[in-house]
């Protein structure tokens, strides 16, 4: 069975009966919950595994076109004749964009996730969703026979055997879509004022078009003020309740990972890996990778200037690829070393005999910009790059990318930023901060599975490296980039399922938005910080340098304290914490990345408090 990955939303209509409520905006921009119903629908589609959404627009199309800036998986196309044509004309406006089976939806629907799931899980190829009686006032009744639909009408007397009411969500196969197309082509009279529902019933005689009835489906189409009122008072709360119940049922047992990656993922990211086998040399997989490459760059706002190069490796592989590919033989990199990951850059350069100068800072102390600049100035003749870690995950310090970049610009150096544990958690703009190479991986703040590293490269900077003497093979940035650009294939076997998970994780990132994710992380950090301070803990790093994604906590001196015992106590209760790593004082570390919420942190703090009191550990204050 083919998985459905595409949805088409018909959104050309005017919705004239609702003007008083939504000020002339298109119907999809009515707001019942915390975002317009079209955005609710989009989020619901993404959380059910849909990967691309085509919106057919018409009336005030710019509202929908603007959504593309927020959600890169959306394409829009305008039906220029929306005022005089029916929904069939709109549906076929999207002809060039539709090349697979799809879900078809109307833009003004509020519905529970079960509506989508039942169609997605149905083994029938063409399915129209029906509900029990709604009493909405403008119901479309659907006549059926056996499993098939026969006709539809607003008059119940036209219906011989009632199957239910039409919802406006259907699953349409590519084959049926093509037949619908030929049907209008051969009936000139049906070109303009014809509706897709009518076409489906016209074709129902010769084609298997089935229905799926959900008797008490929570849904509503909002056409007038009565509907609007009912949506707010009754249907929307019901939808929220039902959807949260579905989430609870599906939930894979959830561990709260407070280690600095791999981070806790959503269930939808986990499930997205269960897909049919595919050879990664197929065009379809190439398109998946291409889309991911584009969106990874978009997350750091480098669409016009940067390219993502992907490797099958953990994050360190990306750092190794970058350092071994971009530093010319006759120059050196200045490596800022204020944590284990800065040190790792040094180790990589040692391993390959790459020239570098180390700028050492005790682990846990911030970069002093004046001193750094003096150091750069003293070595300016041999340097080509400044390499450093953005969020130094060893200690939870945020190195100031903007200020370091300014120093680099002054001396005409490029910068290499290990943004492994900040990318997608802290807003980054590669153009604003003039970042030439930025490295991250699939399993930290982007919230996918471990197995893919990527380097986001400024195009000109990457191009320059093509002339450099080779030190590496698998990890050559330029080779991987040119191979992919030419063939749209990864140079070597990619971790196929991890790519599907990354696709889903990126889509969920755009649904949550850059600000939304950062806000959630910062809120968790604030709860954590406050709770730890209340318990009497102290932090390694001065608060003003905290990255707010990981906190290094100084270990208690009490003789009853033992990290391994504390770790075990918490682990048994579903919380995974992490030991310290080479800092100037002994620490343990708590990260707040991944699909976690304030409540998870609150529960963690309660469990930590229980551990302390049951072991009679006191914290000196």
Ligand X SMILES: *Cc1c(COP(=O)(O)O)cnc(C)c1O
CB of 247 to ligand X, least distance (A): 29
The structure tokens listed for 267 are: 């269930």
Please report whether residue 418 would count as binding ligand X according to CB under 6 A.
yes
442 in contact with ligand X (CB under 6 A): no
93 near ligand X, rule: CB under 6 A? no
* Cα distance between the two ends of the chain: 63
| Binding residue count for ligand X, defined by CB under 6 A | 12
Please return the burial class of 16, using the count of CB atoms within 10 Å of its CB with bins 0-12, 13-18 and 19+.
exposed
Q: Is 324 in the site for ligand X (CB under 6 A)?
A: no
What residues pair up with 10 in beta bridges, in sequence order?
56, 106
Considering only 264, 393, 480, 518, the residue that binds ligand X (CB under 6 A) is 393
421 binding ligand X? (CB under 6 A) = yes
433 touches ligand X by CB under 6 A: no
Options 261, 448, 451, 495; binder of ligand X; rule CB under 6 A: 261
Residues 6+ apart with CB under 8 A from 514: 299, 427
Minimum distance of ligand X from residue 593's CB (angstroms) = 10
**Under rule CB under 6 A, residue 200 binds ligand X:** no
Joined together, the tokens standing for residue 180 give 């619908």
CB 280, min distance to ligand X, A: 22
Residues 178, 186: Cα–Cα separation, whole Å: 12
The nearest distance, CB 393 to ligand X, in angstroms, is: 3
Count the Cβ atoms, other than its own, within 10 Å of residue 110.
Answer: 23
Using rule CB under 6 A, residue 449 touches ligand X: no
Question: Are residues 367 and 338 in contact, defined by beta-carbon separation less than 8 angstroms?
Answer: yes
Partners of 106 in the beta sheet?
A: 10
Q: CB of residue 506 vs ligand X: minimum separation in angstroms?
A: 18
Pairing of strands 52-57, 6-11: parallel
Q: Does 177 interact with ligand X (rule: CB under 6 A)?
A: no
Nearer to ligand X, 481 or 578 (CB): 578
Nearest-approach distance from CB 585 to ligand X, in angstroms:
20
* Residues linked to residue 21 through DSSP beta bridges, in sequence order: none
Q: Which stretch binds ligand X (CB under 6 A): 18-26, 96-104, 329-337, 415-423?
A: 415-423
Nearer of residues 316 and 491 to ligand X, judged by Cβ: 316
Q: Which stretch binds ligand X (CB under 6 A): 32-40, 413-421, 538-546, 568-576?
A: 413-421
CB of 418 to ligand X, least distance (A): 5
Q: How far is the CB of 554 from ligand X (least distance, A)?
A: 20
Q: Estimate to the nearest angstrom the gap between the alpha carbon of 562 and the chain centroid.
A: 38
- Residue 260, interface with ligand X (CB under 6 A)? yes
Quick check: 594 binds ligand X (CB under 6 A)? no
Nearer to ligand X, 103 or 348 (CB): 348
* Angle, in degrees to the nearest 10, between helices 563-572 and 598-614: 130
Indicate which single residue of 314, 476, 480, 587 sits in contact with ligand X (rule: CB under 6 A): 314
Contacts of 209 (CB under 8 A, 6+ apart): 126, 127, 128, 148, 149, 176, 200, 203
State whether residue 148 is helix, strand or coil: strand
Nearest to 33 by CA among 289, 216, 187, 238: 238
- For strands 109-111 and 148-153, give the pairing: unpaired
- Catalog residues that contact ligand X under the rule CB under 6 A: 260-261, 314-316, 341, 389, 393, 418, 420-421, 441
């Amino acid at each position: 069975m083919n998985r459905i990955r595409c949805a088409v939303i018909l959104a050309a209509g005017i919705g004239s009966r609702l003007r008083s409520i939504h000020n002339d905006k298109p119907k999809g921009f009515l707001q019942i919950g915390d975002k317009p119903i079209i955005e609710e629908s989009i989020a619901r589609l993404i959380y059910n595994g849909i990967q691309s959404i085509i919106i057919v627009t018409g009336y005030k199309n710019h509202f929908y076109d603007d959504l593309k800036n927020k959600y890169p998986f959306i394409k829009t196309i305008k039906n220029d004749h929306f005022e005089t044509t029916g929904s069939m004309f709109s549906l076929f406006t999207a002809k060039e964009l539709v090349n697979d089976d799809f879900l078809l939806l109307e833009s003004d629907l509020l519905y529970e996730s079960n509506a989508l799931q039942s169609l997605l899980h149905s083994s029938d190829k063409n399915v129209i969703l029906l509900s029990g009686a709604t009493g909405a006032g403008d119901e479309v009744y659907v006549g059926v026979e056996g499993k098939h639909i026969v006709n539809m009408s607003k008059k119940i007397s036209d219906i011989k055997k009632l199957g239910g009411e039409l919802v406006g969500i259907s699953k349409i196969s590519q084959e049926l879509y093509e037949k619908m197309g030929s049907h209008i082509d051969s009936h000139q009279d049906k070109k303009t004022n014809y509706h897709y529902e009518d076409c489906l019933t016209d074709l129902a005689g010769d084609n298997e078009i089935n229905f799926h009835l959900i008797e008490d489906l929570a849904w509503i189409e909002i056409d007038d003020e009565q509907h609007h009122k009912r949506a707010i008072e009754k249907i929307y709360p019901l939808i929220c309740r039902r959807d949260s119940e579905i989430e609870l049922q599906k939930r894979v047992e959830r561990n709260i990972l407070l280690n600095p990656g791999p981070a806790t993922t959503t269930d939808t990211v986990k499930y997205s890996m269960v897909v049919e086998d595919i050879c990664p040399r197929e065009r379809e997989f190439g398109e998946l990778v291409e889309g991911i490459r584009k969106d990874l760059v978009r997350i750091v706002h480098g669409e016009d200037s940067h390219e993502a190069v992907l490797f099958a490796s953990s994050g360190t592989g990306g750092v190794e690829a970058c350092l071994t590919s971009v530093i010319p033989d006759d120059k050196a990199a200045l490596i800022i070393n204020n944590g284990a990951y800065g040190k790792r850059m040094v180790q990589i350069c040692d391993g390959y005999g790459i020239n570098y100068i180390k700028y050492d800072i005790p682990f846990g102390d911030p970069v002093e910009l004046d001193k750094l600049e003096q150091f750069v100035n003293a070595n300016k003749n041999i340097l080509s790059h400044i390499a450093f870690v953005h969020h130094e995950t060893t200690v939870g310090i945020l190195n100031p990318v903007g200020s370091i970049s300014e120093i680099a610009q002054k001396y005409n150096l490029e910068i290499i930023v290990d943004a492994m544990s900040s990318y997608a958690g802290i807003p980054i703009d590669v153009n604003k901060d003039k970042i030439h190479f930025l490295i991250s991986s699939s399993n930290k703040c982007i919230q996918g599975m471990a197995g893919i590293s990527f380097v986001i490269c400024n195009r000109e900077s990457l191009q320059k490296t093509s002339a450099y003497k080779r030190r590496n093979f698998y990890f050559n940035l330029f080779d991987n980039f040119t191979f992919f650009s030419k063939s749209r294939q990864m140079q070597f076997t990619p971790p196929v399922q991890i790519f599907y998970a990354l696709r889903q994780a990126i889509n969920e990132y755009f649904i949550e938005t850059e600000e939304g994710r950062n806000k959630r992380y910062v809120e968790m950090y604030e709860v954590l910080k406050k709770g730890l301070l209340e318990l009497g803990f102290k932090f390694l790093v001065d608060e003003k340098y905290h990255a707010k994604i990981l906190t290094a906590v100084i270990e208690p001196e009490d003789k009853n304290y033992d990290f391994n015992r504390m770790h075990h106590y918490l682990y048994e209760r579903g919380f995974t914490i992490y030991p310290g790593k080479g800092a100037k004082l002994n620490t343990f570390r708590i990260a707040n990345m991944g699909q976690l919420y304030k409540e998870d942190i609150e529960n963690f703090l309660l469990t930590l408090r229980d551990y302390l009191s049951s072991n009679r550990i006191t914290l000196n204050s």
